[in-house]
């Protein structure tokens, strides 16, 4: 009986070796890429969170309501180019501006209706506020003299501040919900009857403007 001489294929082991090398090389490449992967996404998320927080804090500060009870009516005078009416005295600091107007300019004695001749004065004030402040918060104060009774003074003071607010809203184009009225009457007069040291006649109307938002 003839013997079969079966010999293994010479190329079989060579192909297996090549395939193994290719697989090993591929695994090494994948492992290398995985080890060298940076994590920029995490850093970006952290930076974004920090930036957003800063913006929120800035907005919170910018929209903080003014403290109307802490207004200093004796701050230094200032000159605004757009205010040319000599009936208006401008005072300002780094927080707010005060426009002071003698009530005899705005009203007849004992009355709360704004005189037609006063409209040009109030228009100059409203234009200045719109020019200098974004979404201004405005407070209207009435400092009247002590020649009448306390009740009458308080009533007249309230009526006059409301009249000024109404004018600033309807004619001056300032937002009604951003104007508040403060009737001080004879409780907080600026001085004795006549002129005080700043040259402001008592009684007066004080229009105080705060920026409603950051100007940056």
CATH number of the domain residue 114 falls in: 3.30.1330.60
Q: Is residue 1 part of a domain?
A: no
pLDDT value for 7: 56
Q: Is residue 14 part of a domain?
A: no
Average pLDDT over residues 175-201: 62
Torsion sign over Cα 76, 79, 83, 84: positive
Domain containing 125: what range?
A: 75-210
Q: Is residue 67 part of a domain?
A: no
Q: Is residue 194 part of a domain?
A: yes
Average pLDDT over residues 171-190: 78
Q: Is residue 174 part of a domain?
A: yes
Least confident of 21-30, 47-56, 168-177: 47-56
pLDDT value for 44: 46
Q: Is residue 63 part of a domain?
A: no
pLDDT at residue 202 tops 70: no
pLDDT value for 36: 58
pLDDT at residue 90 tops 90: yes
Q: How confident is the model at residue 42 (pLDDT cuts 50, 70, 90)?
A: very low
Average pLDDT over residues 176-187: 78
* Nearest-angstrom CA–CA distance, 86 and 102: 11
Question: In terms of pLDDT, which residue wins out, 54 or 9?
Answer: 9
Q: Is residue 11 part of a domain?
A: no
**Count, residues in the chain:** 216
Report the percent of the chain where pLDDT is more than 70. Answer: 64
Q: How confident is the model at residue 131 (pLDDT cuts 50, 70, 90)?
A: very high
Q: Is the pTM of this model over 0.85?
A: no
Q: Is residue 44 part of a domain?
A: no
pLDDT at residue 213 tops 50: yes
Provide the domain count of the chain: 1
């Amino acid at each position: 009986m003839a013997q079969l001489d079966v010999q293994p294929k010479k190329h079989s082991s060579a192909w297996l070796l090549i395939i193994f090398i290719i697989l090993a090389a591929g695994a090494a490449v994948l492992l290398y890429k995985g080890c060298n992967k940076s994590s920029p996404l995490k850093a970006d998320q952290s930076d974004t969170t920090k930036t957003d927080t800063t913006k929120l804090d800035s907005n919170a500060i910018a929209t903080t309501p003014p403290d109307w009870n802490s207004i200093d009516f004796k701050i230094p005078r200032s000159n605004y180019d757009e205010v040319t009416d000599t009936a208006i005295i401008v005072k300002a600091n780094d927080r707010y501006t005060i426009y002071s107007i003698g009530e005899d300019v705005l009203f007849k004695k004992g009355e709360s209706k704004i005189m037609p001749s006063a409209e040009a004065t109030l228009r100059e004030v409203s234009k200045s506020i719109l020019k200098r402040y974004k979404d201004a918060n405005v407070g209207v104060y009435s400092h009247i003299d002590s020649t009448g009774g306390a009740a009458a003074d308080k009533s007249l003071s309230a009526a006059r501040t409301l009249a000024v607010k109404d004018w600033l809203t309807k004619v001056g184009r300032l937002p009604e919900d951003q104007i508040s009225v403060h009737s001080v009457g004879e409780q907080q007069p600026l001085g004795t009857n006549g002129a005080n040291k700043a040259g402001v006649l008592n009684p007066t109307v004080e229009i105080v403007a705060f920026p409603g938002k950051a100007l940056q």
